Structure 1
Amino acid sequence: MKEGIKTLDCREEILAITKRLVGIRSEVNTEGERVIAASIHGMLASHPYFEANPSQFVMAPTVNDERKRYNVMAYVKGTKAESNRTVVLMGHMDTVGVEDFGAHQELAFRPGDWMAHLKDVELTESVKSQLESGDWLFGRGVLDMKSGVASNLHLLTYYAEHPEELSGNLVFIAECDEEDSSHGILSALKTLKRWQEEEGFEYAAAINADFVAPAYEGDENRYIYKGTVGKLLPSFFITGEETHVGSAFDGLDPNFIAAELTRQISYNPELSDMALGEATIPPVSLKQTDLKPNYTVQTALSAYVYYNFFVHSWAPEKVLELLKAQAETAFRNALDTFQERHRKYGELSGGEEREIPWKPRVYTYDEMDALLKDAHGEEYVNHMKDFKAELEQDESLDSRMLAARVVEEAWQFMPDKNPAIIVFYSSLYSPRVALTGEEEKERRLLDALDTAIEEMQPEYDHPIVAKNFFPHISDMSFVAMSDDMSEIDDMIRNTPSWGRKLYVEYQDVADLNIPVINIGPYGMDGHKRLERMEMTYSLEVVPNLTNNVIRQMLEAE
């Protein structure tokens, strides 16, 4: 290790903290989120440093959240050199559910008992070998990501005990609700901004501790990520022309168009965003349905589909442009197929062929909304305002179905009711983060990371490899942002459910804009029954890599 950056002997302590946190059932959107926050807060409250400095840790309630839950946040001020430079350590304390554990759900939170149970279960040879190795820990949350939180907690308390070794400041965040809507980190931004104002903190870097995994079968690399993928949920409201099923060719089934749209978009590598030498996985359908409330022998009036869409460099407006073009292609293909099948049916039945009356029509929501405001003025604006406000009172509607209902209602005002596709967004946008090194604070972090990996690699058998984009949704998206606010505003205009149920103060993200990387525990099967983490890397390498970056980032310039 670089002179002045000592190796921390921390495996057993972090393992003990991990097991303690795993033992607290903290599935997202349950009472357990409050329980684990109180437990972590209690750990800090009993520490001598925080007993002496009670204003430097807090259990802060979330804001704009329908649930009552908390983040635990704390900071240590270094005394080695006077500096406002500050590094943020972050990680989430919630987990996904345990339905996949079946009758053994309680064992999910007791790694020892769960691993003993697994010894009598048929496993693949590789999993069995890991189970028997003594270097892998199994259980819900061991990987995603309580071992990461434990590592961060260890580093915080280490510097609470040794502030003389720290230049600048170290902030710790254990946030809730990462697995659903990121209310935790979005609320934590308020506290970070307050501390920035009150304490003069200059946030130099943030280090997330979310889990990393093999990228492919047989991959031995342990990955560090220098930014993160962004995620959108482009959605499509599709109208057809209804008809009795006994006269099917007299109408146009919107499900038929929806099926062609999914064929056009899902798994399409033309929709992979390539940046910095890395490509996003193509979009895939997450929901496809018509909006008929019940069974009838009439074809549906409308259908609704939405797709997961990852981005590395494309702004939300660019994605809408791409998908509008894809929708036009799909619409045209569907009509061509319809015409050809109608012709063939006519040959079979002796009926006359006729030219279909429809043409491809695709609008963004913003385009349709502008058209309707011009056509109907205040009547439309006031009606939609009241309609949306009433919908927002329905707790059974999530933001995705709320958006569909708003678009469906707006469609009723369209002067031309011929079949069309409306494209929009219906859920939270997790902004992309690309560390390009164009700014000084980014270059400093990238250099520190390269140095940390170079110095740690000889101490560990497997390759430690830095990549540009964390491939999964994470709270990294809400401490930095590569989009500008005009691009965010365009996304908001095309998000019909924006309001009480779906609201993010992206300006807070833009104001802080802290360069962020991910150094997290290594393992396999996150979100699955056999979730497990490798202890040597997760409990020894991760905290020391993180510590090396902290020290370099906080050294006096």
Structure 2
Amino acid sequence: MAIDTKESKARTLSYEEWHPAERVEALAVRLVRLPSETGTPGEAAFARELVSLLKEIPYFRDNPGDIRLVDSLEGTAAQSVVATVRGSGRKALLLTGHYDTVAVENYHDLKDLCREPYALREALIESLDRPDLTPQELRAKADLASGGFLPGRGMLDMKSGLAAGIAVLDRFAGRPDRTGTLVLCCSPDEERDSRGMRALRDALPELMADMDLEPVGAINMDVTSDQGDGSEGRAVFAGTIGKLMPFALVVGKSSHASYPYEGLSAQMIAAEIVRRVEANPDLSDTGEDAVSPPPICLEARDLREVYEVTTPERTWLAFNWLYHSWRPKDLFDRFNGEVRKASEACVARLADNARRFCELSGGSAWPEPGTVRMLTFAELKAEAERQLGDRFQDALLAKQEALKGVDNPLTVSRELVIWLFDRARLSGPAIVTGFASLHYPATRLDRSHPDDAALEQTLTTVMTERGEDPSRRLIWRPYFEGISDMSFFGSPEGRSSALVAENTPADWLIDRPNPHALRCPIVNIGPWGREFHQRLERVHVGYAFEELPQILAEIGDRLLADT
């Protein structure tokens, strides 16, 4: 029988008395020791290992049916784990996170130790015992030597967050007076296409209905980087950044190297596009009192495979472009505008160079370079369909099927765009633009919705009680700047974009959410550390192992309370 006295409620809120650091650190180390790089057999096996670990908690030994596995979307063998600890009432708080990690190759000579945090810490300190350290390496050496940080692949991103979530679940399960329900959701594939979370999102309506639960909020426990004292990392993120991957296939007009003015260099146009776009703060989204990082080029390729004394005809570019307040159309218009300006500048520069060379050499005038035609992917596809007629759909499906085994979205998109360009019987100079990867929508709490307002009020109460002491204070930050599963959690309302869908080459890179997806507000509160994804990836242990689980537990108890 549930205890319902003022004294029990006071004890429930006495989080200072719960000191989970030792337990959370042990869990984090266990999770790090399990390999789970995205797309590997380790990732595929991780869910079973996690279930075994969870069944060490007495509640799950007694209620094994409260742990469920959810298959991911096609292309990912790994499963999501949904672990539920039930209390009274229908209200549920979901704690979410991913268990996959990036690859381990950047540990180089220490790769065999990258999943052994304590041995790795000593080895890293030893490797940093040299006089030529960069400022970043000096900081890493001091961090590791202090004992205040622990390294390892996935220790920061994000197995410490999962460990905190498991500890909170364990604490909740041990309380006889549980009000509400706590659900831990652990998904694969966040580091690529979020195929774990997207499948989980689509499955949640049925799962929650089957358990007769009403999710009233969710907390993602992903990590943030703080190069200072942690004051920026000790944060509640009210939303997450959005991401698009605009591409440009640049098709020039080849020329013999001895006669450069007879053609138009695809390389020159591509270089000018990169110059105009790369890390340009004028292209940052600055709406809603926040600033998104500027776009950067993730791929630039000369598409010729053979050697010739001829200028290459085709170059491919893809940019990672983050945003938070724009619509996808706003971003696409900006990208196309920069591409158009770059092509016009190159045509004008080439014409001027040709004129000056003629004056210098005394030769005859060269032909003027032609105007560069610009097409969106949707326009290219329509032209290819016009050329192929009734054969188009079957040919396109066959080409997509042939690329199904390729796990790099940029490769898939590039191959499809080139294939369609050839089928459309087009020639250069021309540029095709579109989106080369999965769209990650931006999200943020909506204060006009009662669930969002209730979650925000609970968070504000917890933050206020922690006070202004810099060692304990939590701050609000508007957007989590790391691309994350948060983009796909909750309602898809207002997040789908026909423009993105019609300009994304591969069908499986277009997110098509369950129209009945649950509407549930989500924020991010996770560990902080430095250099995640890098050799010196390390988590701040005091916050991740002690404070974070206390914060999550308090939020859960307050949000799920009957009052």
Q: Note the 1:115-154 alignment, pairs <5 A.
A: 115-122=121-128, 124-154=137-167
CA offsets 1:413-468 (integer angstroms, 9 cap, x no match): 44663411111111111111122423222222222212111222467615422101
Aligned equivalent of 1:512: 518
Q: 1:481 offset after TM fit, Å?
A: 6.0
TM alignment of 1:276-291, pairs within 5 A: 276-291=288-303
Aligned-residue CA RMSD (Å): 2.4
Structure 1 equivalent of residue 413 of structure 2 = 403
TM-score (norm 1): 0.91
Match of 1:73 in 2: 82
- Please, which of 535, 541, 562 is the counterpart of residue 535 of structure 1? 541
Which residue is equivalent to 2:134?
none
Secondary structure of the residue that 2:416 maps to in structure 1? helix
Of 397, 400, 403, the match for 1:392: 403
Q: Name the structure 1 match of 2:70.
A: 60
What residue in structure 2 maps to residue 337 of structure 1? 349
1:253 to 2:265 alignment: yes
Report the 3-state secondary structure (helix = DSSP H, G, I; strand = E; otherwise coil) of the residue aligned with 1:533: strand
- Find the residue that maps to 2:168 and give its secondary structure: helix
Q: 3-state DSSP class of the match of 1:314?
A: coil
Q: Residue 397 of structure 1: CA displacement?
A: 6.6
SS at match of 1:410: helix
Matched, 1:265 2:280: no
CA spacing shift, 1:406–1:126, aligned 2, 3 Å = closer
1: CA distance between counterparts of 2:521 and 2:286?
21
Aligned-partner residue type, residue 431 of structure 1: P
Q: 2:209 aligns with which of 197, 214, 220?
A: 197
Does structure 1 retain, via aligned residues, the 8 Å contact 2:501–2:510?
no
* Mapping for residues 143-182 of structure 1, pairs under 5 Å: 143-164=156-177, 166-182=178-194
Is 2:492–2:513's contact at 8 Å kept on the other side of the alignment?
no
Going from structure 1 to structure 2, the CA distance change for 1:274 and 1:458 (only over 3 Å counts) comes to closer
* Post-superposition CA distance 1:174-233 (Å, at most 9, x none): 21222222222122224422212212322211111111221x556643222111001111
Distance across 2 between alignment mates of 1:115 and 1:412: 53
Q: Give the aligned partner of residue 4 of structure 2.
A: none
Alignment-derived partner of residue 498 in structure 1: 507
Comparing 126-135 with 176-185, greater Cα deviation is found at 126-135
The answer for the alignment partner of 2:3 in structure 1 is none
Unaligned runs of 5+ in 2: 1-8, 130-136
Contact 1:77 1:169 in 2 (8 A): yes
Q: Deviations over 1:379-419 (max 9, x none)?
A: 44444344333x325x3473322222222222234466341
| Residue correspondences, number | 544
Q: Say whether 1:364 aligns with 2:370.
A: no
Matching residue of 1:454: 464
Residue 553 of structure 1 aligns with an amino acid whose one-letter code is L
Residue type matched to 1:246 in 2? S
Question: Structure 1 residues 278, 178: CA separation in 2 closer, same or farther (over 3 Å shift)?
Answer: same
- Three-state SS of the structure 2 residue aligned to 1:412 is helix
User: C-alpha offsets along residues 504-552 of structure 1, whole Å, 9 cap, x if unaligned?
Assistant: 33236x7224211111112112112222122221112111211222223
Inter-CA distance 342–218: structure 2 relative to 1 (3 Å threshold): farther
For 1:42, the aligned partner's letter is S
- Provide the C-alpha distance between the structure 2 equivalents of 1:120 and 1:411, rounded to a whole number of angstroms: 54
Q: Percent identity?
A: 28
Any idea what SS the aligned residue of 2:31 has?
A: helix
Distance in 2 (alpha carbons) for counterparts of 1:369 and 1:121? 53
User: Quick one: which amino acid aligns to residue 151 of structure 2?
Assistant: F
Contact 1:213 1:223 in 2 (8 A): no
User: What is the distance in 1 between the residues matched to 2:407 and 2:199?
Assistant: 23
Pick one of 99, 103, 114 that aligns with 1:108: 114
2:436 pairs with 1:422: no
Give 1:308 shift: 0.4
**Does 2:441 align with 1:435?**
no
Structure 2 CA distance, aligned partners of 1:125 and 1:387?
Answer: 51
- What amino acid does structure 2 have at the position aligned with 1:392? L
* Cα contact 1:21–1:36 (8 A) shared by 2: no
- Partner residue in 2 for 1:24: 34
Change (3 A) 1:511 1:256: same
Match of 2:474 among 464, 477, 485: 464
Whether the aligned pair in 2 keeps the contact of 1:224 and 1:518 (CA below 8 Å) is yes
Alpha-carbon distance in 2 for matches of 1:184, 1:380: 32
How far is the alpha carbon of 1:118 from its aligned partner?
3.3
Match of 1:537, SS?
helix
Instruction: Give the secondary-structure state (helix, strand or coil) at the position aligned to 1:156.
Output: helix
Distance 1:318 1:507 in 2: 26
The question of whether the paired residues in 2 share the 8 Å contact of 1:28 and 1:180 is answered with: yes
State how far apart, in whole Å, the 2-side matches of 1:110 and 1:137 are: 10
2:315, 2:138 → 1: CA distance?
A: 46
Check 1:406–1:446 CA distance in 2 against 1; reply closer, same or farther (3 A cut).
same
The answer on whether the counterparts of 2:303 and 2:315 sit within 8 Å (CA) in structure 1 is yes
C-alpha change, 1:415 and 1:60, in structure 2 (3 Å) is closer
Name the amino acid aligned to 1:146: K
Give me the whole-angstrom Cα distance separating, in 2, the residues matched to 1:189 and 1:199: 16
Contact kept in structure 1, 2:528 and 2:543, CA below 8 Å? yes
Per the normalisation by structure 2, the TM-score is: 0.90
Among 173, 178, 198, the residue aligned to 1:186:
198
| Runs ≥4 residues deviating over 6 A | none
33-42 vs 465-474, which moves further? 33-42
Identify the range of structure 1 (348-357 vs 199-208) with the bigger mean alpha-carbon deviation: 348-357
Alpha-carbon distance in structure 2 between the residues aligned to 1:420 and 1:428: 25
* CA displacement at 1:338 relative to structure 2: 0.8
Q: Contact between 1:138 and 1:533, CA under 8 Å: does it hold in 2?
A: yes
8 Å CA contact 1:283, 1:308 repeated in 2: yes
Shift of 1:306: 0.4
Q: Which residue identity is paired with 1:300?
A: P
Secondary structure (helix, strand or coil) at the match of 1:299 reads coil
Distance 1:517 1:386, change over 3 A: same
Q: Give the stretch that moved more between structures: 450-459 or 372-381.
A: 372-381
Cα distance 1:347–1:448, how it changes in 2: closer, same or farther (>3 A)? same
Q: Does 1:6 align with 2:18?
A: no
SS at match of 1:244: coil
